């Protein structure tokens, strides 16, 4: 994951600070997906239970800023709420961190070595 500065959340959202070291450090969808797959359902359910009821307040707060020009505290809050898109899949649809029936979430690289020489 990309390293972020130690930034505090905006006033009124301090209760979400427990998620800043993990979900707040996810800058891409791939990073959010990786954290989801490596989390337990108990962790995902806790995140969902805390963040989901705050969505209206979060959106009202973030809507006060131009997209792409969020101050650092709001950008951190935005990354946390973006993570809910990954978490909600596990909680509301999959019932598990991994996509059911999908191959394991690890990179696979296939390299062509050529055909063996004929004798």
CA separation for the pair 4, 26 (Å, rounded): 9
Q: In this structure, what token pair is assigned to residue 20?
A: 């800043």
CA separation for the pair 52, 97 (Å, rounded): 17
Contact indicator for 54, 10 with CB cutoff of 8 Å: no
Quick one: pLDDT at residue 86? 94
Averaged pLDDT score across all residues of the chain: 89
- Which residue ranges make up each domain of the chain? 14-94
Does 49 score more than 60 pLDDT?
A: yes
Quick one: pLDDT at residue 111? 78
Nearest to 24 by CA among 49, 1, 50: 1
Nearest to 78 by CA among 91, 61, 93, 90: 61
The average pLDDT across 26-46 equals: 95
CA separation for the pair 62, 75 (Å, rounded): 9
Angle subtended at Cα 114 by Cα 110 and Cα 118, rounded to the nearest 5 degrees: 145
CA separation for the pair 107, 57 (Å, rounded): 37
What's the pTM? Answer: 0.81
């Amino acid at each position: 994951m990309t390293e972020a500065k130690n930034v505090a959340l905006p006033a009124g959202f301090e209760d979400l600070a427990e998620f800043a070291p993990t979900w707040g450090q996810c800058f891409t969808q791939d990073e959010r997906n990786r954290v989801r797959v490596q989390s337990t359902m108990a962790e995902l359910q806790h995140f969902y239970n805390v963040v989901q009821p705050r969505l209206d307040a979060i959106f009202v707060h973030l809507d006060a800023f131009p997209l792409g020009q969020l101050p650092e505290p709001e950008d951190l809050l935005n990354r946390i709420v973006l993570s809910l898109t990954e978490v909600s899949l596990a909680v509301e649809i999959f019932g598990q961190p991994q996509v059911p029936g999908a191959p394991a979430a690890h990179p696979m690289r296939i390299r062509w070595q050529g055909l063996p020489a004929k004798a």
